[in-house]
A and B are shown apart, each in its own frame.
Chain A
Amino acid sequence: MTELLGIYNYWIYIILMMIGFYGVIAKANLIKQAIALGLFQTGIFLFYISMAVVDGGTAPIWTTVGDGAVKALGPYDNPLPHVLILTAIVVSVSVLAVALAIIINIKWSYGTIEYDEIAALERATEREEGDADA
């Protein structure tokens, strides 16, 4: 039990991701889909950060100690995943930005951001094309 609780942040990352995944699949509102996508990606950030943790670790600060050598202040967390996730955050923000830009355009063109209404409009267009073809 303690083992399971001890890695609680992994549980949370999975739960966050699945909430996001559910939203992406189940929500008809495009904005909600975009938010869910953001949540999905945030879950992954948590995963990376959790992976960096070292027992009793602090920030990775190196400094000059008494005898002039450069040393860490103590055990420290792996900084690499933090750096990576900075990049990933930037990526995820960009994805969100592009998604919102497209959604705004969809609103202008279709007059709605509800997926089922858009799908109905598109089906109508396809029917028209089919008629013109025949």
Chain B
Amino acid sequence: MGIELPLLAMLVPAAGALLIAAFGRWPNVRELVTVLTSVALLGVVLQMLPTVLADGFWETTWTTEPIVLFEMLPGIPLELKLEPLGMIYALIASSLWILNSLYSVGYMRANHEKNQTRFYVCFALAIASVMGIAFSGNILTLFVFYEALSVSTYPLVAHKGTPEAVRSARVYLGILVGTSIGLLLPALIATYFFTGDLAFAPGGIFQEALTDGRLTGPMLGVLFFMYMFGIGKAALMPMHKWLPAAMVAPTPVSALLHAVAVVKAGVFTVVKVCIYVFGTQSLVSAGQGEWLIYVAGATILIASCIALFQDNLKRRLAYSTVSQLSYITIAASLLSPLGFMAASIHIAAHAFGKITLFFAAGSIYTAAHKTKISELDGIGRKMPWTMGAFAIGSLSMIGVPPTAGFISKWYLLSGAWETGYTFVIVVVLLSTLLNAGYFLPIVWRAFFRAPPSHDGHAPLSPQDDAFGDPADEVTAGHGHGHDDHHGDHGEAPLPIVFALSCTAAGTIVLFFFPDIVLGLAQQIFKGLPLP
């Protein structure tokens, strides 16, 4: 029985989408259905957890036949299969979806967004695609759902329908689909061409082709290159532009999809491809994986530097995401067990931290209609819960205990130490400083600066200019217009505050009780062939 659950995990949100569409006329029912679906989904995913964590998973569950949906190309079916890394991803996405649904209800209503039914339908479809990605049994299946995720999130990004939103959505889709069709798909076909197989296998599928000379080391390198840049969702520079563009979407979308589901789909695919398609041994022996460390390292630093100069809160968070994603990529590209461990855990840690930050940004927008960091002076006094959660999220991004971010950074540094890549250690340390540099001032501003007075410019201290945009002064002045209307705002609506408090708490809980994630991460390595 346990083996059919992955299919169920896909069908639950898909069925939810149908119901949501059917109940579109009654907002209360519609939103109740959304929340119920998300709870049901978590239930289904939790059901699978013991199977994956069980001893001897690789000998029993993994060796049973996958669930074949249908045969798409001769010899290459669409199939689903349980797998520990996918389990981490599914678990995070499904548990955060519940909170995000609550949050969406509060946010969409408070901001009087249009086309809410389309929003919830597409959201559920996106989650269904996420489940498909998480449980895909071969790389073609993964690709199919990867594309499904791009298409189903497009209407969410273009949600507002303004020319700006449509333009950004165009960039979003253009880069995501462009990279996947232009690089990932040919890489897939070439993989099939060389190996005659697309199924995931611990240790990779290229050894045979490499040993009998069909495939040479440099060709493997080219393939690896096509995969890594073809997975645009991992936002490796220069394929990262879609992520800031996606920030025009309503905040719940940015929070769950562009901090968790979509970007994690990218890095999840990266890790999965490294472990199950290429296999560490093939890559190490061909000596072709190393460049990725430097590209990812550069992405971390450059994105952090760009983030430093963003005044729009969501854009700053977006660039922070770009840099955090490359943590995962860089960890995976170490090609060592500790590295993969760090990658798996950071998928979870970053998810909780970043969604908290986005929830907070949306909360601020809803309550105070502010989108710029320079307008946030003293807002912590009016919105203590929101800014408290924001502070916790920031700490997790920086990697300060007791937050989840610390654990993944610890593993990453250990992995780098073990493999001897000083470059990685330097990058991690530098970026920690940068992280602190672009997050802490926000927290400081919110709690320790006086709120702007109503009769003039906000007091600008010289320090502000150190991390502020030159445009700050203008926008700060502009912010007063809003203040006149929202000067007496308090906290955001209850569902919003509740959701962001939960995720902030989750960030801390994950630090003290990382057992499930660690267990799943360790399970991955039990299946790998010993070097």
- Direct A–B contact in the complex, CB atoms closer than 8 angstroms: no
Interface residues of B, Cβ cutoff 8 Å to A: none
- Which residues of A does B touch, CB under 8 Å? none
